[in-house]
Structure 1
């Protein structure tokens, strides 16, 4: 029983900080929610059928750019909506948000 408790404590000390670090590295979740809200506002009542995180690009200093792609159907026409979010990693503030629309091929 004592070995089990020692193993539990050891794993807690090793795994919990690394899990917290992994969650922090996935820092795009907040901006994904913002991007989703923007798309729902721009296309009210239209179905959003796909969502994809396209990745992060490092800009200057602590600034990064995250890109998200949504597939929406507006009046029977399927479109890709790309939301680009520029934010500062040091203060976790949104700096710029842009929305572009592309027609879906096929």
Structure 2
């Protein structure tokens, strides 16, 4: 009976650890939130339908860019909007945020 109890406790601990690990935010989550907020500020008339994290690009040893593509709607028109968040490394201070429309 003790072995069964120990096995049960071990399985419970492993399951809990896996669930907790699955709930952690991805590394780009804070930049995604910033991209959404700045897009809503700059384009208040747009509805954000969805977005995709494109990735991080290093421009130099001390500069990186977090890249996103948003799918937006302005009335009847839907289009893509690229948002680049340029960061100063290593402290990840935002240098600039740029927006670029795309037809796809």
- Matched with 2:29 is 29
- Structure 2 residue 83 is the aligned partner of structure 1 residue 83: yes
- Matched with 1:73 is 73
Scaled by the length of structure 1, the TM-score of the pair is 0.68
After superposition, the C-alpha distances for 1:71-105 in whole angstroms (9 at most, x for unaligned) are 11112100111100111341121112101112x35
Q: What 5-or-longer segments of structure 1 have no aligned partner? A: none
Q: Is the 8 A contact 1:64 1:86 kept in 2?
A: yes
- Matched with 1:62 is 62
Moved over 3 A (4+): 1-6
More deviation, 74-83/26-35: 26-35
Q: Which has the larger radius of gyration?
A: 2
User: Cα RMSD over matched residues?
Assistant: 3.2
Aligned length: 100
- Matched with 1:38 is 38
- Matched with 1:100 is 100
After superposition, the C-alpha distances for 1:6-52 in whole angstroms (9 at most, x for unaligned) are 9x99x8xxx9xxx6xxx69x432221111111111222243211110
| In structure 1, distance between residues paired with 2:89 and 2:9 | 38
Q: What 5-or-longer segments of structure 2 have no aligned partner? A: none
